[in-house]
Amino acid sequence: MKSEFEGRVAIVTGAANGLGRSHARALAAEGAQVVVNDLGVRVDGGMAPSDASLRVVEEITAAGGHAVADYADVSDAAQVDALVARTMERFGRVDILVNNAGLLRDKTFAKMDLADFRLILDIHVMGSVNFVKAVWPIMRDQNYGRIVLTSSSSGLFGNFGQSNYGTAKAGMLGLMNVLHIEGARNGIRVNCLAPTAATDMTKGLLSAESVDLLDPDSVSPAVLFLVSENAPSRTIIGAGAGVFSTIQVLETPGVYLPPGKRSPADFAARFAEMQDLAGAATLDGAFDQTEKFVRAALAAIRKGE
């Protein structure tokens, strides 16, 4: 049976190693033509696809797939634009963008200098923004696009020593939420992945038993789903060891505090009620919160609260 990915053109960033390599191989195995992006620095200081990227292309080609290696530092907008221009020359379209490239500069916040904070924002946040910016007009013209942003449980739930990385990875949610709204009328769907896998990035942090289970290949089915024709949009999938979840931002119904009952003690007395997840729901956009609060306040006032 013909795969829906045949004829699709995909760019996977940071695809020379780890999760990106798995995503690239999985997309190619489904018939997509894949651009394997990673940093490329030659010994003489010039730029060219890295040996590791070329190895991934060889693996894909040996398995009967189609891929090319191309270099760009994701944090350099000019290099990213040039890569996307080369992709258009080669393939004439870009259907799928998997923003995956990244690295760490862990330190406690007390010891972290601002340069390391900015570097991580530059690579994870601006790196994703640079690539989305370059493919956005193409996807809009095609009226088709699938974008995955790589978030992390560090940003969604927190992790010691990763204030820079956690900030960047939580930023993926904000980017997804807005691009989802702006891309909808042009058939562009935007989702987040929160993976966990044994890669160079997590070397030394995992037990021997979990390393086997946390094979990066066990994450990639989530990416295939998130970039498929029937993909959802504005969804966060958690993935690791072949286990898949969704992570959702919910807001509780809210509690109306009447004027005169808004002191710290009044607030504290109703805090448990504010936190009660019964009736909690996600919102379709920012102004849904405004309308919800106005409705709740008016209803409470009418009841004489």
Ligand X SMILES: NC(=O)c1ccc[n+]([C@@H]2O[C@H](COP(=O)([O-])OP(=O)(O)OC[C@H]3O[C@@H](n4cnc5c(N)ncnc54)[C@H](O)[C@@H]3O)[C@@H](O)[C@H]2O)c1
Which residues belong to the active site? 165
Q: Under the criterion CB under 6 A, does residue 237 sit at the interface with ligand X?
A: no
CA 95 to chain centre: 16
**CB distance 94 to 88 below 8 Å:** yes
Q: Which residue of 11, 36, 39, 83 would you call a contact of ligand X, by CB under 6 A?
A: 39
Assigned token pair, 288: 């849904």
Query: CB under 6 A: which stretch of 13-21, 55-63, 256-264, 284-292 binds ligand X?
Result: 13-21
Q: Under the criterion CB under 6 A, does residue 220 sit at the interface with ligand X?
A: no
Cα–Cα dist 177/190, whole Å? 8
Closer CB to ligand X, residue 30 or residue 73? 73
Q: Under the criterion CB under 6 A, does residue 199 sit at the interface with ligand X?
A: yes
Cα–Cα dist 54/67, whole Å? 9
Closer CB to ligand X, residue 18 or residue 49? 18
Closer CB to ligand X, residue 36 or residue 139? 36
Closer CB to ligand X, residue 75 or residue 235? 75
Residues with Cβ within 8 Å of residue 126, at least 6 apart in sequence: 74, 75, 77
Q: Under the criterion CB under 6 A, does residue 123 sit at the interface with ligand X?
A: yes
The minimum distance between CB 59 and ligand X, in angstroms, equals 14
Q: Under the criterion CB under 6 A, does residue 77 sit at the interface with ligand X?
A: no
**CB distance 75 to 125 below 8 Å:** no
Q: Under the criterion CB under 6 A, does residue 83 sit at the interface with ligand X?
A: no
Cα–Cα dist 243/230, whole Å? 21
Q: Under the criterion CB under 6 A, does residue 166 sit at the interface with ligand X?
A: no
CA 114 to chain centre: 24
The minimum distance between CB 248 and ligand X, in angstroms, equals 18
How many residues are recorded in the chain? 305
The minimum distance between CB 202 and ligand X, in angstroms, equals 5
**CB distance 10 to 97 below 8 Å:** yes
Q: Which residue of 65, 183, 195, 238 would you call a contact of ligand X, by CB under 6 A?
A: 195
Q: Under the criterion CB under 6 A, does residue 201 sit at the interface with ligand X?
A: yes
Closer CB to ligand X, residue 100 or residue 177? 100
**CB distance 235 to 192 below 8 Å:** yes
The CA dihedral of 94, 130, 161, 246, to the nearest 10 degrees, is -40
The minimum distance between CB 265 and ligand X, in angstroms, equals 41
In what helix (H) or strand (E) does residue 147 lie, and over which residues does it extend?
A: strand 145-150
Amino acid letter at 263? S
Closer CB to ligand X, residue 98 or residue 179? 98
CA neighbor of 295 nearest in space, from 254, 250, 251: 254
Q: Which residue of 6, 51, 113, 200 would you call a contact of ligand X, by CB under 6 A?
A: 200
Cα–Cα dist 252/305, whole Å? 19
Query: CB under 6 A: which stretch of 109-117, 199-207, 227-235, 284-292 binds ligand X?
Result: 199-207
Q: Under the criterion CB under 6 A, does residue 145 sit at the interface with ligand X?
A: no
Residues that bind ligand X (CB under 6 A): 13-14, 16-20, 38-39, 73-75, 100-103, 123, 127, 150, 152, 195-197, 199-202
